[in-house]
Amino acid sequence: MADLANGRPLRPTAAVRVASITKTFTAAAVLRLVESKRLGLDDPIVPLTSGAILDALGEGGYRIEEMTVRHLLQHTAGLYDFGADPDYDREAFARPTHRWTRLEQISWAMLHGKPVAPPGTQYHYSDTGYSILGNILERVTGDSLGTAYRTLLDFERLGLESVHLESLEPTPPAAAERAHQYVWNADLLAVDPSCDLWGAGGLVSTMRDLACFVRALFGGKVFQYPETLAAMLRTVQARGAEAGGMGIFRMPLGPGVWWGHAGFWGVVMAYNPEYDLAVATTVTRRPEEHPEEQYELGRRLVSAVCDRARSAE
| Under 8 Å between Cβ of 180 and 189 | yes
* Domains parsed from the chain with CATH numbers: 15-312 (3.40.710.10)
**CA distance linking residue 95 with residue 258, whole number of Å:** 38
pLDDT (average), residues 217-244: 92
What pLDDT, on a 0 to 100 scale, did the predictor assign at position 169? 97
Q: Report the percentage of the chain scoring pLDDT > 70.
A: 95
- pLDDT category at 289 given cuts 50, 70, 90 is low
What pLDDT, on a 0 to 100 scale, did the predictor assign at position 239? 86
**Other C-beta atoms within 10 Å of 73: how many?**
25
**CA distance linking residue 75 with residue 91, whole number of Å:** 24
* Strand ranges, E, within the chain: 15-17, 164-165, 182-183, 186-187, 203-206, 249-251, 258-263, 267-272, 277-282
What pLDDT, on a 0 to 100 scale, did the predictor assign at position 240? 84
| Under 8 Å between Cβ of 152 and 160 | no
User: In the β-sheet with 15-17, what is the strand arrangement from edge to edge?
Assistant: 15-17, 203-206, 164-165
For 41-73, how does the pLDDT look when each residue is reduced to its tens digit (9 = 90+)? Answer: 999 999 999 999 999 999 999 999 999 999 999
**CA distance linking residue 120 with residue 74, whole number of Å:** 9
What pLDDT, on a 0 to 100 scale, did the predictor assign at position 307? 76
pLDDT (average), residues 235-245: 84
What pLDDT, on a 0 to 100 scale, did the predictor assign at position 313? 63
What pLDDT, on a 0 to 100 scale, did the predictor assign at position 266? 86
| Under 8 Å between Cβ of 12 and 208 | yes
Q: Is pLDDT of 98 > 70?
A: yes
Q: Is pLDDT of 312 > 90?
A: no
Average pLDDT, rounded, for the chain: 93
In angstroms, the Cα distances linking 223 to 73, 168, 278 are: 16, 26, 18
pLDDT (average), residues 127-145: 98
**pTM value > 0.85:** yes
In angstroms, the Cα distances linking 85 to 34, 44, 224, 240 are: 32, 27, 37, 19
What pLDDT, on a 0 to 100 scale, did the predictor assign at position 291? 58
